[in-house]
Amino acid sequence: MKNKIYLLSASLMVATFSFFSCVSSGEKETGKDEIEKKVESLLGKMTLQEKIGQMNQLSPYGSEEEMYALVKEGKVGSFLNIVDAEVANKIQKTAVEQSRLGIPVLMARDVIHGYKTIFPICLGQAASFNPDLVRESARVAAIEASADGIRWTFAPMIDVSRDPRWGRIAESCGEDPYLTAVLGKAMIEGFQGDSLNDPTSIAACAKHFVGYGAAESGRDYNSTFLPERLLRNVYLPPFEAAAKAGSATFMTSFNDNDGVPSTGNKFILKNVLREEWKYDGMVVTDWASATEMITHGFGKDAADAAKKIT
């Protein structure tokens, strides 16, 4: 068993989240149905604490032994920023062989415009107006990142951005909804490849849903005031294209819109994403965006904010 490899494969990733579909849009519905059955069976065996653990993502801290203990106890579902393949493999070995249900851990990282090979920033790539080049750069990044055990990236960032004062405009594809939609789709195709079951595939994450690029005065994390007409004509189209392209995950944005933070916004997360677009992939919060609903005045404390996550 010493040499057995446990770098996460997408065929096992299904066990990690109940709403994470690891079947790409081109695969047969029968395969998807089979995965859904496995998910339902696994959920029936899980305790409440284990379900909460699967939704807990941590950055590495403390000793490796502490990390392994959390994995063994089912208290963590994914790690952010583990880039050592040997460490990743030890974590997976612990998860599969020593945790009660043997659920693998999902390794994640912000693989934005390259991993080992660095490509131009996303705004620079957008200036090429060449989706084939953009797709190829994402494919190279996926191949390199997956070799270190990373199977989930927080890209593409498809916020339409029209205020140069906003610092994260460099990570965007710019001001045009159509170009952003086309290049976002190309990035998703590059990251995920033909199938998420491919060992060189990494799950894409369409972010930040939605309106983050319109933060008032260009101040990061700030509020937005976008009427529905503006949302639908400018800020939502790239995300609809990402959903249709089969992006495995979506990420909620930090901003509130007209007083309602995205992480607790029923209109965009349920009415639009789930009901209108029929998206059944996973939605992840941005870094601490759940507790930041308190700062926006939408929750009185962490417990209240957690209850308001949509």
Q: CA–CA separation, 22 vs 38, rounded Å?
A: 12
Of 163, 286, 301, 304, which is the active-site residue? 286
Among this protein's residues, is 286 annotated catalytic? Answer: yes
Residues forming the active site: 286
